[in-house]
Amino acid sequence: MKVIGIIPARYASTRFPAKPLVDIAGQSMIQRVYQQAKHASSLDEVIVATDDQRIYDHVKSFAGNVIMTNSAHQSGTDRCAEVIRNITGFDIAINIQGDEPFIDPQQIDLLVSCFANKQTDIATLVRKVESNEELFNENKPKVVLNNTGKAIYFSRQAIPFLRGIDPKEWLQNRPYYNHIGIYGYRTAVLTEVSKLPISDLERMEALEQLRWIDNGYTIQTAISNHSNDAIDTPEDLKKIMHKYFSI
């Protein structure tokens, strides 16, 4: 089973333009993500997929693997699908978020392990919710799992609803899970899902993975204990600098 890790990286961002090139204690964000991914023992190859010459040139400058992709892509999934159309020979593709400079390589290995089951077509990670602040934060999507660890639904709301119980006490009555935005796909399945039109559930929740569920695909999950630090805004960067470098 050959596995490629793909890091989609675009220059344009409404909340944080040029985010992949931002300096984090002497290294760019995209370089940190790339280096963390290279430490994952399960990956046979790691490549950055971008639509911007500045990012392309920068990745080349630190001897990273990089490919130019179409600027019209609407999602990282679409960008990953273009990569596997042009780079053949891989069975599994891992879509690694380009804004998590301290991603734990063991998380990547955990995700890849889901494909030891030949029935797994798509996989992702989840983490147990630890606070009510997380539970009711609409920017932290929640996942409902069935008894085999497959995702039944993703929502920005806290689900399931516990009837007759004060919402402040929901965490004391059952486990809830946040979604961690890293995906794995069998390469043939990645090609298929990249061709699907936006679904109603996806449009309502603004969560891409609902498109796959809407179309009958199953999503296997694995539970990670690692807390991911994504950088979506300049304010997030300030928090990261303080957390990791006391700056």
3-227 folds as Spore Coat Polysaccharide Biosynthesis Protein SpsA; Chain A (3.90.550)
78 pLDDT above the threshold of 90: yes
Averaged over 144-173, what is the pLDDT? 97
What is the rounded average pLDDT of the residues 9-25?
88
Q: How far apart are CA 139 and CA 217, in angstroms?
A: 24
Identify the pLDDT of residue 35. 97
Chain segment 176-201, per-residue pLDDT in tens: 999 999 999 999 999 999 999 999 99
CA-nearest of 119, 79, 118, 97 to 1 is: 118
Measured in whole angstroms, the distance separating CA 213 from the mean position of its chain's CA atoms is 17
**Average pLDDT over the chain, rounded to an integer:** 95
What is the band of 103 on the pLDDT scale with cuts at 50, 70, 90?
Answer: very high
Cis ω before 175 (30° cut-off from 0): no
DSSP 8-state code for residue 54: H
Confidence of residue 129 (pLDDT cuts 50, 70, 90): very high
* pTM of the model as a whole: 0.94
| Higher-scoring residue by pLDDT: 237, 173 | 173
Q: Read off the DSSP letter of residue 246.
A: -
Q: Calculate the CA dihedral of residues 72, 86, 196, 2 and round it to 10 degrees.
A: -130
DSSP-assigned states of every residue in 91-117: SEEEE--TT-TT--HHHHHHHHHGGGS
Q: What three-state secondary structure class fits 247?
A: coil
The per-residue DSSP string of 153-217 comes to EEESS--S--TTS-GGGGGGTS--EEEEEEEEEEHHHHHHHTTPPPPHHHHHHT-THHHHHHTT-
